[in-house]
Amino acid sequence: MQPDISAAELSALAGGIHGNPFAVLGPQRQGSRRIIRTLQPQARSVHLLDARGAVLTELKPEHPDGVFVAVMPPRIRRYRFRITLYSGGTYDCEDPYRFPSGLGELDLHLLREGTHERIYEELGAHCIKLSGVAGTRFSVWAPNAKRVSVIGSFNDWDGRRHAMRLHPGNGIWEIFIPDVGPGDQYKFELLDAGGKLLPLKSDPYAQYFEGPPGNAAVVYRSNHRWRDSGWMQSRSSEPRLDQPFAVYEVHLGSWQRVPEDDNRYFSYRELADKLVAYVKDMGYTHIELLPVTEHPFDGSWGYQPIGLYAPTWRFGSPDDFRYLVDCCHQKGIGVLLDWVPAHFPRDEHGLSRFDGTALYEHEDPRKGAHADWGTLIFNYGRNEVCNYLLGSALYWVNEFHIDGIRVDAVASMLYLDYSREDGEWLPNEHGGNEHLEAVGFIRRLNELIHREGAVTLAEESTAWPGVSRPVYSGGLGFTYKWNMGWMNDTLSYMSEDPVHRKYHHDKMTFGLVYAFNENFMLPLSHDEVVHGKGSLLGKMPGDEWQRFANLRAYYGIMYGHPGKKLLFMGGEFAQSAEWSHDRSLDWHLLQYPLHAGIQALVRDLNALYRSCPALYEVDFDGSGFSWLDWNDRDSSVFSWLRFGKDGRSVVVIAHMTPVTRPGYRVGVPAPGKWRVALNTNDARYGGSGENPDQVLEAADEGWHNQRWSLTLDLPALATVILTPADD
């Protein structure tokens, strides 16, 4: 047979360096006839079969390294190959090079623009039927590669056998491989522009991974049937800022473990039983998960992700994770997910120099590298990179029903000079330090997530204006901003010996100067109980009783303060030791009354918070708050009012010295009887039991700029919350 390709092209094909295999493999025209060519380096012989399995002809060797060719019989459209191995075994298979592209023109157009909102349905690995044949379509963006192949156990991890088709307009490589399906492991093998073989790459869009050291992606198809339709129908594109929002922050690998089974993790399904029941019992409205996106290193806690579309294999499958979220929703608990679009690790199987170039990152380390973390920064100036990130966020919201995305390390995204010295960063086009491309990305992210009925939260520690203000008014568009200033100031105050607290009084009041500039969440997060910082209990001064009393009073202040609430796991029962991701929380501490008392207090605080609109309805407007006395330094007492939309109020009084103060007068906005709704010194919480009367009568005596007032005996180191007795 007269060859239709040159010897050099044939050698390139056999050697696995041909950049356009669909031009020479599969059915091809050769003059007036059709030929069929296949590359089967594992085969001793190859026969062509018709659709019924009858042998039509034997393909002849065209190159000694496994290229076979034959004239195609007339009128044959569907066919298969019968492969005879050198070992003597045989099997029949489809020819992937007879199938057309599985990507439509509209999809290719949107991918080229970087505006495909459901990009996760096109790129990656997807089980489909093409021309009536079941298999998996693989697609990956690698515009600067010379050749890209899918490798796996289905082709003996041989990159010559399933080289992909390039869509040159957008740099996407694609192939449909028949008979590959759920559970099959795969990677991508790439040659850079110069023909150099790169380290094997994991699929950026993989939905599931095997664990290290293999790190292969796994073809996955969901079979989960959601049962949370009522919950999903209640989601709104307009965030309900007037609702209670109390968050339990969790690292799934160390909440609890199974000591009798080699101290293994709980699975997603076990957590759906145990964790969800616990969160429900404790009265939280939401659970926030440290990143479950796939990550190579346990010690990163998920904050250096390598698979932004995959729940980590550590706790089960993607459908197991869906089951966990579903169970939360059925119990009335929202699910927030920490998400990391700021940076990614340098692991060679990940995004780093994916096609031999700085594809997802910047070439210049002054824009592309985080020296502090040893990671690489996403290039927000590339539409395809932004599409990858935005698609990930939408994937979690749409495919896993996540109710909110907490964006990590926002400050590092906003500033080009973040943690950099002069000469280590590049200014923007206006000469400033604002990362304009990242700002544009963040605004688009928030618009999309809100449109889908979920919320966004910013872990942002600077004075950047309008973080939680709408995009249309010039803000970044987040729903909430973590109040890092409140956290730092109040923890600093709480660590002071009570005898010195009057000199640090402003640390507890300063947060109200700016409390309504943003939609703030008050976070006592994992960041405050790691890296030598100790536990929250460990930050409290005094003897054992005083340390617990201080922590109880502090929690009372937190729940009375404007802003939504977040507490990291273990804080609700006063974990004594610093958190470690390598072991379970110290649940055995609950056998001790002081620890059990803290847990009972947090449970009751959540119950009071959810039942008392004045504590949550007007969190982000000054009309929901009024000081009674912010300046009683000598007594270290703070007192204020919180108001609901209907004007009904609660009184919060925090006393931060270890002595009782009998007959303490406080102004109230209404006459009649007031009751003690919660007292952190109550004996059932581990307090001394020296409590004010449970019902107090307001006198017609003006105080604290209020017409009425009442007196009560303030317990030592305690927060007392009063509500009208008829509430």
Which residue's entry shows tokens 């618009």?
Answer: 447
Q: In the beta sheet, which residues pair with residue 2?
A: none
- 83 phi and psi, to 5 degrees? -100, 125
Cross-sheet strand order for the sheet of 217-218: 147-152, 185-191, 217-218
Q: Is 593 exposed, middle or buried (0-12, 13-18, 19+ CB in 10 A)?
A: middle
Where helices occur in 72-208 by DSSP H, the ranges are: 105-113
State yes or no: is 372 an active-site residue: no
d(CA 638, CA 632): 7
d(CA 165, CA 611): 60
Joined together, the tokens standing for residue 250 give 């969790």
Non-local (6+) Cβ contacts of 687 within 8 A are: 549, 552, 597, 679, 680, 681, 715, 718
- 523 phi and psi, to 5 degrees? -105, 125
Q: Which of 62, 189, 319, 408 is catalytic?
A: 408
Where helices occur in 470-585 by DSSP H, the ranges are: 484-494, 506-509, 536-539, 544-560
Which residue's entry shows tokens 């998400």?
Answer: 339
**Cβ 316 vs Cβ 297: under 8 Å:** no
d(CA 628, CA 526): 33
Length of the chain: 727
Residue 604's nearest CA partner among 679, 536, 656 is 679
Classify 218 in phi/psi space as left (phi over 0), alpha (psi -120 to 50) or beta.
beta
d(CA 441, CA 171): 22
d(CA 280, CA 288): 14
d(CA 197, CA 719): 65
Residue 669's nearest CA partner among 689, 649, 690, 652 is 649
Which residue's entry shows tokens 């803000």?
Answer: 475
The identity of residue 186, as a single letter, is Y
d(CA 264, CA 314): 10
**Cβ 611 vs Cβ 684: under 8 Å:** no
Which residue's entry shows tokens 């703070």?
Answer: 638
**C-alpha 534, offset from chain centre:** 25
Query: Measured in Å, how far apart are the chain's first and last C-alpha atoms?
Result: 94
d(CA 305, CA 215): 13
State yes or no: is 408 an active-site residue: yes
Q: Which of 95, 384, 459, 528 is catalytic?
A: 459
Q: What residues are annotated to the active site? A: 408, 459
